Structure 1
Amino acid sequence: MTNHQITVASLPTAALEARHFQLSNVPMPEPQEGEVLLRTILMSIDAANRSWMQGATYRDAVKPGDAMPTYAICEVVESRSPRLSSGDIVAAESVWADHVTRPAHKLQKLPKITPLSHLLSVYGIAGKTAFHGLLSVGQPLAGETIVVSAAAGSVGGYVGQIGKALGCRVVGIAGGPDKCAYVTDHLGFDGCVDYRAGGLFKALKAACPDGVDVYFDNVGGQILETTLPLMNERGRVVCCGAISQYDTDTPTGPRNLPGLVVVKRLRMEGFIVMDFAHNDAKATRALQTWVAEGKIKVSEDIVDGLENAPAALIGLLNGDNTGKRMVRVGPDPA
């Protein structure tokens, strides 16, 4: 029995392309003592996948020949550990493949939530990143103004909805009129600015007449530079990602640092979701409550087929997703 796997054929120096990946058949892995064999159900597709190809970050750099790393929801097929049993659903640091083996002690057994895709979106990486970043780093108060870039994306959409649930005014930044309409009409933001339409500073200033108290930054670069002058004194900038910088060999940064940070006494802080894992249970309870109350709408963008993972990542980097993007490799258990 063979196993399908996607490896990195070569590292890109500019835009990521399909030729940078290779789909191949490899032997079916066999679990050793203390390990389990996993069947991949869903794989998370994130801008971070691209950043790992640029060099070491909070994890080792991805090199040519490596199977592409991912966060995945999997089913235990065979267990050689008392920690897990066949049929258990787990979260795993995995790779783009049909099957993998992993040490049981490094896996997280997941609760019974249907559909399983919600464990990658609202109750998974996307929702928890939004919750922890906004509350623990941004620390918004009711009545404040929050601006969110990549507002139609996997994290940004939840940031805005959480902000609304907390009593804040929320303005999104997204690419194109359709996405902006989705952000306001479906997700309930108070406004959304189309960065592709030109005149971003003027439009954002008009949408935030009282300035910006919290900016949740998913893109970096020019949009971050444009937003900083609109920050109020003691404003907070939550640095979650820099998707505008990942797919180029000539990254740019804000030219108005550190001047504006000093003059406005701003606080800029980066984070990754694992920093606040100790608060994950609180995040899940809050998110489940808001979903049940209709204050958060779950938005998912699911691409079918392991072979389509490269196209799914390339599309994400080009902004063609709405909501949390993931790849379905196999069906949910019956």
Structure 2
Amino acid sequence: MSGPPAEEPRVSLPATHREVRLTALPEGALTPGHFEVVTVPVPTPGPGQVLVRNQLMSVAAVMRPLTLADPDAFGLPQLLHRAGEVMRGPALGEVVHAPGTDLAPGTVVRHRAGWREYAVLGAGEVSPVDPEALPDPAAHLSQGFTAWLGVVRGAGVRRGDTVFVTGAAGGVGSLAGQFARLHGAARVIGSTGSRHKADRLTRELGYDAVVLRGAGPLDEQLRAAAPDGIDALFDTVGGEQLRAALALARRNARFALVGALAAQLSDDALAPTAISTLALIARSVTLRGISAADHQDAMPDYLREFGRALREGAITYPYTRLTGIDRAPGALCELVEGRHLGAVLVEL
């Protein structure tokens, strides 16, 4: 006669943990004063839930809290934070306890409840990480999937293309240019805000040329970098950079829109960008907004390509690694100010 099911071994847990809360929505510049690090009890999972000890979390400029007149109409709830709430973002962690699920303690999972040392999530909200898929576990927190989707499915980059990547020094752009080259682009041009980062983009990440915000009209700089025009755009910024790209678009150019930082980092996150629809029609330009949420079927292909490229040295994953959850608010403010190249990860 069989006995009762074996119980999971009890794990010694601290009574409390730390989490980062948004204290107020920014009006103007984001500062560490908009956040607070608070100590609260470690949560307890119920049936079908998972308690995760977070080990590494990602910080990205797109996480800047947005002030919106009608947040419910925005349509991207994962980007919205309200005053008093815990911040959210991608994280890697280890399963501590998962009653009533198939997840064993010790399983490493990826989820979106970062900005806290421990998190309770539904079993369907965590994804086990294959330790063999990528050579560096931190790469599971890269924004490489967005970069790959924009290059492959959004812009359809192909051999011989001239590609313009806006926000090229960010966590997405720093990988998008490399994926464009991997998919046959003959010339890759980026945009960034500092000469130091521009030099690193050409020296370390394979960019052929870089246009600088604040160093003269962007359309003139882009024309000098791409005198024959551009075939594809990977856009994380929008605004005047999107307009400059359209002015240089060749016939049948493909534009992948994956971000709108020009608006998100301003006082009006829904600010429109004025573009010529006649120019789109006359040159048969395709604009495609692309979200990773709609393309999860591509994840296996992306992981195979990204993992292989990392192992072979065909792609590098640039990131800064900080230690301690208290560093996260300052890191986000620095990213919004453009003070980092690539991704920023916080070790918890």
TM-score, with structure 1 as normaliser: 0.92
Residue 255 of structure 2 corresponds to 237
Alignment coverage as a number of residue pairs: 325
Tell me if structure 2 keeps the 8 A contact 1:88–1:109: yes
Instruction: Determine helix, strand or coil for the equivalent of 1:301.
Output: strand
2: distance between equivalents of 1:131 and 1:317? 23
Contact 1:16–1:247 (CA<8 Å) still a contact in 2?
Answer: no
Alpha carbon RMSD of aligned pairs, Å?
A: 1.7
CA offset at residue 52 of structure 1?
Answer: 5.3
Equivalent of 1:20, from 23, 34, 44?
A: 34
Of the candidates 214, 231, 234, which is equivalent to residue 213 of structure 1? 231
* Counterpart contact for 1:76–1:89, Cα < 8 Å: yes
Alignment of 1:21-60 (within 5 A): 21-50=35-64, 54=68, 55=71, 56-59=74-77
> How far is the alpha carbon of 1:218 from its aligned partner?
0.8
Change in CA separation of 1:293 and 1:114 when aligned onto 2, cut-off 3 Å: closer
Q: What is the distance in 1 between the residues matched to 2:332 and 2:67?
A: 12
C-alpha deviation, 1:95, in angstroms: 4.0
SS in 2 for 1:25: strand
CA distance in 2: counterparts of 1:324 and 1:260, whole angstroms: 35
Does 2:169 match 1:152?
yes
Pick the structure with greater CA Rg. 2
1:166 is displaced (CA, Å) by 1.7
Distance (Å, rounded) in 2 between the aligned partners of 1:294 and 1:9: 42
Distance of 1:218 and 1:13 partners within structure 2 = 22
Unmatched 5+ residue regions in structure 2? 1-14
* CA distance in structure 2 between the partners assigned to 1:260 and 1:254 by the alignment: 14
Q: Tell me what 2:129 maps to.
A: 110
What are the ranges of 5 or more consecutive residues in structure 1 without an aligned counterpart? 330-334
Deviation, structure 1 residue 114: 5.0
Could you state the TM-score of these two structures normalised by the residue count of structure 2? 0.88
Inter-CA distance 170–111: structure 2 relative to 1 (3 Å threshold):
same
**Correspondence for 2:309:** 290
What is the rounded CA distance, in whole Å, between the counterparts of 1:17 and 1:129 in structure 2? Answer: 27
Contact persistence 1:303–1:328 (CA under 8 A)? yes
For the residues of structure 2 that align with 1:77 and 1:187, how far apart are their CA atoms? 38
What corresponds to 2:157 in structure 1? 140
Q: How far apart in 2 are the matches of 1:227 and 1:89?
A: 41
Counterpart among 98, 112, 134 of residue 79 in structure 1: 98
Q: 1:186 aligns with which of 191, 204, 208?
A: 204
| Separation in structure 2 between the aligned mates of residue 2 and residue 292 of structure 1, nearest angstrom | 39
- Identity, % of aligned positions: 29
**Contact 1:36/1:81, CA 8 A, preserved across alignment:** no
In the alignment, which residue of structure 2 is the partner of 1:260? 279
Question: 2 CA distance for matches of 1:261 and 1:182?
Answer: 33
